[in-house]
Amino acid sequence: MMAPNNDPFYCGATAQCRDAEWFAKCWDEIQLNGRVHLRRVHYIFASVEKIKLNGKPYQNTGEDWEWLEAASKYARYLGLVDARQIEDHRNPSPILIDVDEDSWLRTYDPEVAFPRLNDDCIPGIRAEFRDYDVSIENLFAPRVRGYDYWEQRQPCHIEILCEKSTMNDILEPLARQYNCDIQTSLGFQTISSVVDLLKRAVASKRSTRILYISDNDPAGEHIPHTVARHIEYWREKHSPELDIALKPVVLTDDQVVQYALPPIPIKKTDKRGGDFKRRKGREAVELDALEALHPGELRRIVTTEIERLQDPEFERKFWDAERQARDVIEAQWSDAIADMKDEIDVVSKKLTEITDRYAEESCQLRERYKDDTDPLRDQIETIRQAVRNKIEDFTPDLPPLPEPEIEGDDPNEWLYHSGRPYEEQLEYYKRAKAGENGNAGNGGGRQHE
């Protein structure tokens, strides 16, 4: 669990409110457009010598910078400043792969599509005249659409969060293969990165599942809890309907034992080191040790977690559904126009005879050809009107889109899950820290950004 003074849910102490109000007032006065980095705000405040609450001017010092970080954090927690207006330049930009650039093509539900009935059914003479299909029946044949498969059809938007970028050579190809987004960080995720993640999750219009990768050290065990707590907080503010969950997948205590990974001494300056060693009975273990001693194992672990959140047969199901839909409309449309079959065949036969006679001639015969086919136009228009009436009554029972089937989304295995009530989630954090929730995580968190 996070310390109360760092937990956004507990923000509201008198001093925090005072500092937050000061920052919000100064923020409004400088009137910055768009998203900005907090460090720029620091230099602006210092250049105009904003007066602090103690009556002294704000200066370009480490002490004032740390105070500004805290004050801006409280202002965002309390809703006095929109958290989405402050950018994160400390962490690398996310690698966005789960982006549907052709989303405008993905709007169709299963439906029956007919050709435009105003099109001229009689072809003109052209170079490919011999190969022209002059079947009137085919010109009226319906088509099916809406059964296209693409990766965003899978039930989950998956985010891979890693506390370091040294694993990008492994994670990025994996993410591209499975259409996931990656966010690395220099240790803890910032408020801005969490808010941006939630924006991506909302834009995906799907459930979001976050796989967290970190060292097994005092900071690494706190990071997932800290991020989970912030996701929990900002979700309630910006996207309360979002289905989202997070769990640590690497490097867990069980994996340290399973792969016999060597420990490294914890820095003496890390105040959490003593408690960590007491609970674990060992020193810290770095993520890099897993790949160094067991090449390919990180990829295998993450791949397994991703595939548990996807339906491997989903694309094939769409192919099967489209094939079934084509069979349905072909059979039902054939029945629908059965009473017109003879008339269509007569006109098609006449048109075929005419086009065959002109197959060896060239463009100079177009006018003669038009004269010969004009008598058919009235008959085709009569058929066209009758087909319009058939279309109005043509309502085949199309098969529904397939539903995904996944195995890896048991709510109990996630450190944080948006489906849990607030009090239940708090208890889950506590049980995780005590080691009662398996590999869902065991630690608290310190404030980030």
pLDDT tens string 295-349: 999 999 999 999 999 999 999 999 999 999 999 999 999 899 899 888 888 888 8
Tokens of 345: 């065949």
CATH dotted code for 156-309+406-440: 3.40.1360
Q: Is 369 helix (H, G, I), strand (E, B) or coil?
A: helix
Q: Counting Cβ atoms within 10 Å, is residue 214 exposed (0-12), middle (13-18) or buried (19+)? A: buried
pLDDT in tens, 253-282: 999 999 999 999 998 888 888 999 999 999
For residue 239, the 8-state DSSP code is -
SS3 content of the chain, % helix, strand, coil (to 5): 50, 10, 40
- pLDDT of 447 reads 41
pLDDT at 354 over 70: yes
Peptide bond before residue 251 is cis, with ω within 30 degrees of 0:
yes
pLDDT at 442 over 70: no
Strands 244-250 and 416-417: antiparallel
Domain boundaries, the chain: 8-87, 110-149+315-393, 156-309+406-440
Q: Which residue, 75, 133, 144, 449, is CA-closest to 322?
A: 144
pLDDT in tens, 397-441: 999 888 888 888 888 889 999 999 999 999 998 888 877 765 555
- With vertex at residue 282, the alpha carbon angle to CA 277 and CA 287, rounded to the nearest 5 degrees, is 105
